[in-house]
Structure 1
Amino acid sequence: MNADALATLNQHLHAALAALPDETRRLFHGRGRRWPGLEQITVDWMQGVLLVCLFREPAAEELDALKRLLRALGETPAWRSSGARTLLLQHRYLPDSATEALIGEAIEEAVISEGGLRFLLDFGRKQNSGLFLDMRYGRRWVQANAAGKRVLNLFAYTCGFSVAALAGGAEQVVNLDMARAALSRGRDNHRLNDQDLQRVSFLGHELFKSWGKVRKLGPYDLIVIDPPSFQKGSFALTQDYQKILRRLPELLNAGGSVLACVNDPGIGADFLVDGMAREAPALRFVERLENPPEFADIEADGGLKALVFRQDWAPGIPGRSSVESPRPAKAQPRAARRRIIPVYNARS
């Protein structure tokens, strides 16, 4: 973070404050590696709160310079006219992801909106605020494709997909995540949107020990898989994702869909396409969802990969998948081999 890099950040922040969106958005995505020296900085607009995340510890003098820049922002006409009231700096590289208020008062919670839906976020108490902004188009897709369907939301976290599914008219949603506190926040998010909790199930279990319960609550018309890259003691993406894929045919109704996601910058879309062809050949690749433009990456496969698959089935045998389903088309862009890219925290 030399002087030139900080000048670039300052320019972006002033431009962003002059044209703030009505809803929560990423304003600066340094982790897309398009601005040298700023690869470990992101800035999010949380509708009154500007959240700056620092993913790698800088030198002491660099941190001081960054803080001076951010504090000075509060003295500018752009800040005063923006409606912003608080600027938080979160040190994501620290074990407790400590957060400090550089402008305004510290704030621990706030309700934000996305696509007309409301979510309760945390600031300063946890590594992640409670909503992954790069998945905005994924939630939009689920909302548009959930009408009348039974939905299984794996690695549900705070149930953003579930909120979107019910908003789209889903008949029933099953949320599974071993983090029960996150599921509790998911209940809060449903209540914020005046949604019927009788149409939602919350399973605070480890997935690989709960297949029987998951299967009993099915079958499903839509399954969402959005796992972490690594979860100590329970999930390692490159080893365990295939175990989920091979279970999909027995969980899906005939013609059911899957939204399968990976957010490891070192793993390309072909990881999912090839894995599905190998483990669940009845599911054919349909499309890869675009990422929001504010998450542009220097490499097309460096950001989120959210792929849609649909299960073919044998005519006359409802709910059974065809073993002769063709190999799915390759996802674009092509990126079959693992690239070595530094990752300091799993999700940005």
Structure 2
Amino acid sequence: MSPEALAEFFSQLQHNLFQQLSHDATETRRVFHGRGRCFVGLEQLTADWLSGQLLITLFKEPEPEFLVLLMQGLVAMTEQDVWQVSGAQALLLQHRKRAGSPMEVVWGELNGRPVIQEQGLKYQLNLGRNQNHGLFLDMRLGRQWVREQARQKRVLNLFAYTCGFSVAALAGGAEKVVNIDMAKGMLNRGRENHLLNQQDVKKVTFLGHDIFRSWGKLRSLGPYELIIIDPPSFQKGSFAATTDYHKILRRLSDLLAKDGQVLACVNAPALPSQFLIDSMTEHAPQLTFVERLANPPEFADSEPEAGLKALVFRG
């Protein structure tokens, strides 16, 4: 990371952040995306406005000079009038490459369990404990698409995490949603997310199981008009996209209702959209590729195939 590039960072950050604050300070948005490699020297730096808290994340340990200048610039930003009247609660800096991914408070007071808002829906985050806070912001348009498609449908949400897709599906009028993920703690937070939005959890099933050992159970709860596949790119001991994705695709014929839809996602820079298209052609030939969903504009990438890929298929 380049100290000389920090002037561009603060220019972009302040423009995007203050534009968001003037539009809707309660809405969550990424306000700087260095990971898209559109800003030379800032590739390991992001900034997220979390409905009142600004989270700056360093994905690589910087040189001491860079860190000193970054901190000085952040403090100076909090002294501006527009920040002072923004209603901001905290400015946070997370070091992803340090042991435990520690988070320090640059300004204000940390709210470790904030409730944020995205497109009128609420989500419970957990800051300062894990690398990921509970909602992947680059999937905003994917959640929007599910909300638009879910009316009166039975939905299967594979690798559900904190059930963001499930919340969106019920907001769109889904008949029922089945969420499955090995991490039961994340599913508990998913239940909290449904309750935050005053949704009927009787329409939701939470399965804290290994997907690859649960096909019979999933089939008995189906078939589903909409299936969402959003796995981690790699999770040691449980999932690797290059070797395990096809195992899921082979099961779609047993799970998907006639004329049903599949939203298949992958976020590994080395795996392009064609990986999903070719894999579906080979392992679920009954499905036809329809479209790739756009990523949010704030997640611009110099190499679009390196970012999130969310593809729609239809039976």
Flag whether TM exceeds 0.5 (same fold): yes
Q: Which residue of the partner structure matches residue 329 of structure 1?
A: none
User: How many percent of aligned residue pairs carry the same amino acid?
Assistant: 60
Change (3 A) 1:226 1:95: farther
Moved over 4 A (4+): none
Contact 2:17 2:49 in 1 (8 A): no
Task: Tell me, yes or no, if structure 1 residue 188 matches structure 2 residue 192.
Answer: yes
2:277 to 273, 277, 280: 273
- After TM superposition, give the deviation of residue 109 of structure 1 in Å: 1.1
Contact 1:51 1:89 in 2 (8 A): yes
Residues in 2 aligned to 1:139 and 1:3: alpha-carbon distance in whole angstroms: 36
1:304 to 292, 301, 308: 308
Contact 1:263 1:303 in 2 (8 A): yes
**Equivalences for residues 94-113 of structure 1 within 5 A:** 94-113=98-117
AA aligned opposite 1:89: L
Task: Tell me, yes or no, if structure 1 residue 34 matches structure 2 residue 38.
Answer: yes
Residues in 1 aligned to 2:14 and 2:150: alpha-carbon distance in whole angstroms: 39
- After TM superposition, give the deviation of residue 301 of structure 1 in Å: 0.8
Residues in 1 aligned to 2:90 and 2:40: alpha-carbon distance in whole angstroms: 27
Contact 1:111 1:119 in 2 (8 A): yes
Deviations 1:142-170 (A, max 9, x none): 01111111100000000000000011111
Q: Which moved more, 1:77-86 or 1:205-214?
A: 77-86
Task: Tell me, yes or no, if structure 1 residue 5 matches structure 2 residue 5.
Answer: yes
- After TM superposition, give the deviation of residue 47 of structure 1 in Å: 1.4
Task: Tell me, yes or no, if structure 1 residue 205 matches structure 2 residue 209.
Answer: yes
Deviations 1:243-265 (A, max 9, x none): 11111111011011100000111
SS in 2 for 1:140: helix
Residues in 2 aligned to 1:97 and 1:107: alpha-carbon distance in whole angstroms: 17
**Equivalences for residues 256-335 of structure 1 within 5 A:** 256-311=260-315
Change (3 A) 1:207 1:182: same
Task: Tell me, yes or no, if structure 1 residue 80 matches structure 2 residue 100.
Answer: no
Residues in 1 aligned to 2:208 and 2:74: alpha-carbon distance in whole angstroms: 40
Matched residue count: 311
SS in 1 for 2:125: strand
Residues in 2 aligned to 1:249 and 1:221: alpha-carbon distance in whole angstroms: 12
Residues in 2 aligned to 1:246 and 1:7: alpha-carbon distance in whole angstroms: 50
- After TM superposition, give the deviation of residue 16 of structure 1 in Å: 2.4
| CA-based RMSD | 1.0
Residues in 1 aligned to 2:125 and 2:311: alpha-carbon distance in whole angstroms: 26
2:134 to 126, 130, 134: 130
Structure 1 runs not aligned, ≥5 long: 312-348
Task: Tell me, yes or no, if structure 1 residue 252 matches structure 2 residue 234.
Answer: no
Structure 2 runs not aligned, ≥5 long: none
Q: Which residue of the partner structure matches residue 66 of structure 1?
A: 70
- After TM superposition, give the deviation of residue 78 of structure 1 in Å: 2.9
- After TM superposition, give the deviation of residue 75 of structure 1 in Å: 1.2
Contact 1:14 1:78 in 2 (8 A): no
SS in 2 for 1:301: helix
Task: Tell me, yes or no, if structure 1 residue 154 matches structure 2 residue 158.
Answer: yes
**Equivalences for residues 136-147 of structure 1 within 5 A:** 136-147=140-151
Residues in 1 aligned to 2:42 and 2:183: alpha-carbon distance in whole angstroms: 32
Task: Tell me, yes or no, if structure 1 residue 219 matches structure 2 residue 227.
Answer: no
Contact 1:25 1:44 in 2 (8 A): yes
Residues in 1 aligned to 2:170 and 2:142: alpha-carbon distance in whole angstroms: 14
SS in 1 for 2:304: coil
- After TM superposition, give the deviation of residue 80 of structure 1 in Å: 1.3
State the TM-score, normalized to the length of structure 1. 0.87
Deviations 1:297-343 (A, max 9, x none): 001212110000011xxxxxxxxxxxxxxxxxxxxxxxxxxxxxxxx
SS in 2 for 1:191: helix
Q: Which moved more, 1:150-159 or 1:118-127?
A: 118-127
Q: Which residue of the partner structure matches residue 18 of structure 1?
A: 18
Contact 2:289 2:313 in 1 (8 A): yes
SS in 2 for 1:67: helix
